[in-house]
Amino acid sequence: MKLNQKDIKKIREFRALFPNELTVRAERSQDGGFVAEIIDFPGCFTEAENFSELIEMVNNAIKTYFDIPEKYSSFMASYVPPLKQAQRLDVFPPNLEKSSEIKLEITNREKVAS
């Protein structure tokens, strides 16, 4: 996608909405998958079959929360748990048995375009 100045301005406006980190309460669902509540955004929930998918779904939920147009979606920041935190939770492999709060950090803050 070739970006014009208007696109670059909109992308920067949308990216400015994203906090540097999120607090997410994750827990196992009754069917063995995962459910997450994004604490920083009341009423924002998502679910997934596995922990990796849950992180992807949290990122999608944030984009939906801010109503990011699809054409700008790939330019938005992504959140991931720090490796130490994921290891502490023993989610590699996934073994989250009860509710835990997880800090997800933004993975990139590079320039959108010049």
pLDDT digits (tens, 9 = 90+) for 22-71: 999 988 888 888 899 999 999 999 999 988 898 999 999 999 999 999 99
User: What pLDDT does residue 108 have?
Assistant: 57
What's the total number of domains in the chain? 1
- Residue 111 lies inside a defined structural domain of this protein: no
- Residue 111 in this model has a pLDDT that exceeds 70: no
- Residue 94 lies inside a defined structural domain of this protein: yes
In the chain, the N- to C-terminal Cα span, in Å, equals 14
Return the structure tokens found at 105. 């950090």
- Residue 93 in this model has a pLDDT that exceeds 50: no
- Residue 7 in this model has a pLDDT that exceeds 70: yes
- Residue 34 lies inside a defined structural domain of this protein: yes
Please report which confidence band the pLDDT of residue 114 belongs to, taking 50, 70 and 90 as the band edges: very low
Q: How far apart are CA 72 and CA 76, in angstroms?
A: 7
Q: Domain of 42?
A: 5-104
Q: How far apart are CA 101 and CA 8, in angstroms?
A: 34
- Residue 64 lies inside a defined structural domain of this protein: yes
Decide if 40 contacts 19 (C-beta within 8 A): yes
- Residue 114 lies inside a defined structural domain of this protein: no
Task: Give the CATH number for residue 61.
Answer: 3.30.160
- Residue 17 in this model has a pLDDT that exceeds 80: yes
- Residue 110 lies inside a defined structural domain of this protein: no
- Residue 95 lies inside a defined structural domain of this protein: yes
Cα–Cα nearest to 59, from 81, 33, 83, 84: 81
Cα–Cα nearest to 81, from 34, 14, 11: 34
User: What pLDDT does residue 26 have?
Assistant: 86
pLDDT mean over 103-114: 59
User: What pLDDT does residue 85 have?
Assistant: 65
- Residue 113 lies inside a defined structural domain of this protein: no
